[in-house]
A and B are shown apart, each in its own frame.
Chain A
Amino acid sequence: MTRPHDYSTAKEELQPIAPSKLVIENVSKSFRASSGTVLALDRVSLNVAEGEFVCLVGASGCGKSTLLSIIAGLEKPDSGTVFADGKRVSGPGRERLVMFQEPALFPWLNVLSNVLFGLNLKHNLSRKDRLDVARYYLELVGLTRFERANTHELSGGMKQRVALARALAPNPRVLLMDEPFAALDALTRDQLYGDLQKIWQARRKTIVFVTHNVREAACLGDRVLLFSPHPGRIQEEFVIDLPRPRDINRIDLAEYANRISTALKDIGRTERKPALV
Chain B
Amino acid sequence: MKRFILAALFFGLMLLAWEWAYRAKLWSPVLLPAPGQVAVYLKEAAADGTLAHATIITMRRLLVGYLVGLIGGLPLGLLTARWNVARDTIGTMALGLQTLPSVCWVPLALLWFGQSEAAMLFVVVMGTLWSVVIATETGVRNVPPIYRRAAMTMGSKGLHMWLKVVLPASLPFIVSGMKQGWAFAWRSLMAAEIFVTILTGFGLGQLLHYGRELSAMEQVIGIMLIIVVIGLLVDKIFFSPVETFLHRRWGTSNA
Contact = CB atoms under 8 A, between A and B. Distances in A.
A166 B154 CA distance: 9
Contacts of B155: 92-94, 118, 121, 170
B168 A108 contact: yes
A102 B144 CA distance: 11
A85 interface: no
B147 interface: yes
B153 to A, nearest CB: 5
Interface residues of B, number: 21
Contacts of A96: 153
Given A104-B146, A150-B248, A72 B168 contact: no
Contact of A121 (B156, B169, B171): B156
Contacts of B249: 107-108, 150, 152
A125 B41 CA distance: 65
Given A104-B146, A108-B171, A121-B160, A97 B153 contact: yes
B173 to A, nearest CB: 12
| Main SS at interface, chain B | helix
Nearest to B154: A118
Contacts of A152: 249-251
Contacts of A74: 149, 152-153
Interface string B137-170: 0000000101101111111100010001100110
Interface residues of A, number: 25
Nearest to A110: B249
B250 A107 contact: yes
A108 B146 contact: no
A150 B251 CA distance: 8
A212 B156 CA distance: 30
A98 B168 contact: no
A73 B154 CA distance: 12
Given A102-B146, A106-B169, A153 B153 contact: no
A100 interface: yes
Given A150-B248, A150-B249, A106 B168 contact: yes
B153 A98 contact: yes
Nearest to B156: A121
B171 to A, nearest CB: 6
Contacts of B150: 98, 100, 104, 106
B61 to A, nearest CB: 33
A152 B248 CA distance: 9
Nearest to A119: B154
A169 to B, nearest CB: 9
Nearest to A74: B149
A114 B137 CA distance: 25
A60 B171 CA distance: 34
A12 B73 CA distance: 46
Nearest to B160: A121
A227 B151 CA distance: 28
Interface in B102-158: 144, 146-147, 149-156
A151 B251 CA distance: 8
Given A106-B168, A150-B251, A153-B251, A117 B154 contact: yes
B149 A106 contact: no
Given A104-B147, A108-B168, A72 B153 contact: yes
A164 B83 CA distance: 34
Interface string A204-225: 0000000000000000000000
Interface of A: 72-74, 92-94, 96-98, 100, 102, 104, 106-109, 117-118, 121, 150-153, 166, 170
Closest 10 pairs between A and B when the two form their complex, measured CB to CB: A152-B251, A118-B154, A108-B168, A94-B155, A104-B150, A121-B155, A92-B152, A104-B146, A98-B153, A92-B153
Interface of B: 144, 146-147, 149-156, 160, 164-165, 168-169, 171, 248-251
25 contacts: A72-B153, A73-B153, A74-B149, A74-B153, A92-B152, A93-B155, A97-B153, A98-B150, A102-B146, A104-B144, A104-B146, A107-B249, A108-B168, A108-B169, A108-B250, A117-B156, A118-B154, A121-B154, A121-B155, A121-B160, A150-B251, A151-B251, A152-B250, A152-B251, A153-B251
Given A74-B152, A118-B155, 19 more contacts: A73-B153, A92-B155, A97-B153, A98-B149, A100-B150, A102-B146, A104-B146, A104-B147, A104-B149, A106-B165, A106-B168, A107-B249, A108-B169, A109-B168, A118-B154, A121-B154, A150-B249, A166-B154, A170-B154
